[in-house]
Amino acid sequence: MRTRKKYFYLSNIWLYLSLLCCLSACQLTPTAVTPQPSRAPSKATPPSTNSSNELHFPPQPTQAGSTITPLPTNTPTQPANQLTIQPMADDHGRPVLAFYYPWYNQQSWNRAQMSDLPTIQYNSGDDITIDRQLDYAAGAGITGFISSWWGPADKTDVNFGKLLTHAATLDTQYHYHFASSLYIESDAPNLNSSDKLVTALSYINNHYSNSPYFFHWQGKPVLFFWDPLGNGRTLTQWSSIRQQVDPNRQMIWSAEGVNTDLLSVFDGIHLFSAGWWGLQNNTMPQVDQGFRNQINAYNQAHNTQKIWAAGVMPGYDDTRVPGRKGTFIVPRNNGATYTTSWNAAIASTPDWITITSFNEWFEGAMIEPSVTYGNQYLDLTRQFAQRWHG
C-alpha cells in the first residue's frame, strides 16, 4: 500500500523519520475489491526544508449508509473531557486496537508540519502522558494499542514497557483490561535484515509475550508486521524467520497488505490504510466485504482460521509534512468519513477492528483529542466500539 516508511527522529534527542509505502506497491489487487488508487496514506515522512504540494482526491467521502450521526465539531481549543471508563473483561472477544506512536517530545509539536495539534502537547515517555492516553483510549472502548516498534532498546521499546506497566495500573483502578501489541517496523535499522528480525522477535518472546497486558488472541500473543514484502523481502525469508522464532506457531502474526499469498506464512492481514480508496470512491462496504470474502475463501480452501482485521480511519492530511511529494487529503467531513469507515468495517464481520490511528499527528489520521476537534473522535469511537462489543 505504501512506498515510504517511518523514520522520525524529532529534536536533538531523536528526529523520528517515518516513511510509508503506497498501497499500489502491494502485489495483488484483491478479487472483487475496488481497485486501489496510485497513492495511499503513508506513515509520516521525514521533516525537511522543502514543502509539499497539496493534492485532494475527489470525490470526497459521503455519509451514505451511516447508522450513527456524527457529532458536531467542538469549538477549537476546547479541552477534551475525560470519558467514563467502564470495566472491560479479559480477552474482549471483539478487540478494537488503535495504531499508536510513542516517539513524540515537546519539540515535535509544530503547527507548520501538522494539520492539527493535540489539546495537550506531550512527551511520549512521560508517565502522566501514558496515563492520560490510556484513560482516553479506555473511555472510548479501545481495548489495546498497536505500538510502533523499532527494535530492542530503542525509545519505542522503552516506552512500550512503560505502556504495559501503566496498563496494569489501569486494570487495578478500573478493572479495564487493556492489552497492546507491537507494530514491527520492518524497515527500521534494527530490523532490516533476517538476522536482526530473528534477534528482535526472540527478544519480544522473552520480554513481552507472557505479559497479561500484551494482546493475546485465543491464548496466543499477537504481533503486527508492517509491509512484509517491501524492500525486497520475500515469503521464503519470512518462512525461515518464523521457523527460527516460532516453529510451533505459538504466536499469531498479522501482515499489512492485500496479498493473500501472505497467509502462507502469516495468520491474518490488516490494512494500515483502512482501505481508504473505498472512502474515496464511496465503496467502503464493498472493499471491506471483499477482504472478508477472500479470507473466508482461503480458510475454506486450506482448512485454516486466518484472521481479517478491518481498519477504520477518521481522515488523512499529510500536506504539511516537509519534503513529502504526492501529499493529499482524505477529508474528515465532520465525522462522516469515520462513520462510513466504521459502519463498513462492522458490516464485514471482522475478527478484529484496527483504528488508523490514535496519534499519527504528522499525517492527520489521529483520534486523540485535538485543538480543532476536541474529543469528537473519541466520542464517536466510544459509540461504535459499544456497538461492536455488543
Strands 329-330 and 316-317: antiparallel
Nearest to residue 292, comparing CAs of 269, 264, 314?
A: 269
Report the CATH number at residue 270. Answer: 3.20.20.80
In a domain, 382, yes or no: yes
Q: Considering the domain boundaries, does residue 63 fall inside one?
A: no
Answer yes or no: are the C-beta atoms of 2 and 22 closer than 8 Å: yes
Q: Return d(Cα 37, Cα 159) in angstroms, integer.
A: 35
Residue 32 lies in a domain: no
Flag whether 369 is in a domain. yes
Q: Is 326 exposed, middle or buried (0-12, 13-18, 19+ CB in 10 A)?
A: middle
pTM recorded for the entire structure: 0.82
Question: Is the distance from CB of 151 to CB of 190 less than 8 angstroms?
Answer: yes
Residue 233 in any domain: the answer is: yes
CA distance linking residue 31 with residue 147, whole number of Å: 31
> pLDDT truncated to tens, each residue of the chain (390 aa)?
343 334 333 333 333 333 333 333 333 333 333 333 333 455 543 233 233 322 222 223 222 223 333 343 444 434 445 567 776 655 458 999 999 999 999 999 999 999 999 999 999 999 999 999 999 999 999 999 999 999 999 999 999 999 999 999 999 999 999 999 999 999 999 999 999 999 999 999 999 999 999 999 999 999 999 999 999 999 999 999 999 999 999 999 999 998 999 999 999 999 998 988 998 899 999 999 999 999 999 999 999 999 999 999 999 999 999 898 989 899 999 999 999 999 999 999 999 999 999 999 999 999 999 999 999 999 999 999 999 988
CA 317/CA 298 separation, integer angstroms? 35
Cell numbers describing residue 184: 514491527
Distances (CA, A) of 286 to 30, 232, 260: 11, 31, 17
Structure-block grid coordinates of residue 318? 499529510
Specify if 294 maps to a domain: yes
Domain contains 23: no
Domain region containing 223: 86-389
* Domain contains 137: yes
Place of cell 477472500: 294
C-alpha span between 377 and 390 (Å, rounded): 20
How many domains does the chain fold into?
Answer: 1
